[in-house]
Amino acid sequence: MYQEEGAEEELEIEMNDDEPAFLQGQTRSSMDMSPVKIFKNPEGSLGRAAALQSALIKERREVREQQQRTMLDSIPKDLNRPWEDPMPDSGERHLAQELRGVGLSAYDMPEWKKDAYGKTITFGQRSKLSIQEQRESLPIYKLKKELIQAVHDNQVLVVIGETGSGKTTQVTQYLAEAGYTTRGKIGCTQPRRVAAMSVAKRVSEEFGCRLGEEVGYAIRFEDCTGPDTVIKYMTDGMLLREILVDENLSQYFVIMLDEAHERTIYTDVLFGLLKQLVKRRPELRLIVTSATLDAEKFSGYFFNCNIFTIPGRTFPVE
């Protein structure tokens, strides 16, 4: 019988489940696919070692937590609250910084790591001087009072100092110690992200606080600040973003443009915006720092403002 043209031919397929001779014992139907059974032997050497290590780790963790709780209980509370004493004496301020820095060193290492690396391991700049002695050895320390007075008397100030004179790390701290943070934040711009992070870390150690509390930084995709932050290091691009959102920069009382001689596109735009801002906010303080002798151009641009010179260079910069 002939099928109509275009009709599909029906095929019947019959499955044969019989295993061929050359595949006997190798197919899924004939093999045992159950998972491998694991037998635990608590009395074995591995079981005893695991049990002892767990007990030692637990005991060591409990001792460490107890020591940390004891240390935290011995530290006076609420030292970061600025409304208690906005302008403390220098001795009291130094005492508060020391108390806040107890046990908060970023370079603390466990004993096993000290034994592994040896006792001579160091971080950052090698120096036998304490942090306070290093601050006092900087050239800017001798001009601390003169600098604070110059900032008080001038709305815009151009600061000239060589790289390593201490202007980047010390000016913000001097102004904070003088009470400028009671009216707003102190913002300091850096031309590079790595510089903003490293400088903020160093200043937090000198200020006696954790990074991100009273001293923090803000770069692209990373904001290490908090509600208690009074000194903020940031890239010039981040400050430009803030001034586009808030044209009066109402959160800041002091703006410091560091390394202005590098003249990035963001710095040049900030020059124009901040020149208009100082006219709208007479109480705002603007500091422009430079490591070269081109300060006359900056001074002429900002209404022929005064120039403050820091002679000498002490701290080596890598």
Q: What is the mean pLDDT of residues 246-257?
A: 94
Q: What is the mean pLDDT of residues 219-235?
A: 93
- Backbone torsions φ then ψ of 137, nearest 5 degrees: -85, -10
Task: Please give the pLDDT value at position 237.
Answer: 93
Task: Please give the pLDDT value at position 145.
Answer: 93
Tell me the C-alpha distance between 95 and 89, whole Å: 10
Token pair recorded at residue 143? 């001009």
Q: What is the mean pLDDT of residues 158-167?
A: 86
Res. 255 pLDDT band, cuts 50 70 90: very high
Task: Please give the pLDDT value at position 104.
Answer: 47
CATH architecture of 144-310: 3-Layer(aba) Sandwich (3.40)
Task: Please give the pLDDT value at position 273.
Answer: 95
Report whether pLDDT(229) > 90.
Answer: yes
Higher pLDDT, 66 or 37: 66
Name residue 254's beta-bridge partners.
186, 285
Cβ(201)–Cβ(162) below 8 Å: no
Report whether pLDDT(102) > 80.
Answer: no
Q: What is the DSSP string of 8-74?
A: PPP-------PPPGGGTTTSTTTS--PPPP----TTSHHHHHHHHHHHHHHHHHHHHHHHHHHHHHH
Name residue 222's beta-bridge partners.
219
Per-residue pLDDT tens over the stretch 4-59: 555 677 788 888 777 788 877 777 666 666 776 777 777 777 777 777 777 788 88
- Percentage of residues in the chain having pLDDT higher than 90: 42
Tell me the C-alpha distance between 92 and 203, whole Å: 19
Which residue ranges make up each domain of the chain? Answer: 144-310
**The pairing of beta strand 222-224 with beta strand 215-219:** antiparallel
Per-residue pLDDT tens over the stretch 105-144: 444 555 655 565 454 444 445 566 788 888 888 989 999 9
Task: Please give the pLDDT value at position 175.
Answer: 95
Per-residue pLDDT tens over the stretch 165-210: 889 999 999 999 999 999 999 999 999 999 999 999 999 999 989 9
Task: Please give the pLDDT value at position 238.
Answer: 94
Sign of the Cα torsion 123, 129, 130, 131 reads negative
Sign of the Cα torsion 209, 215, 219, 223 reads positive
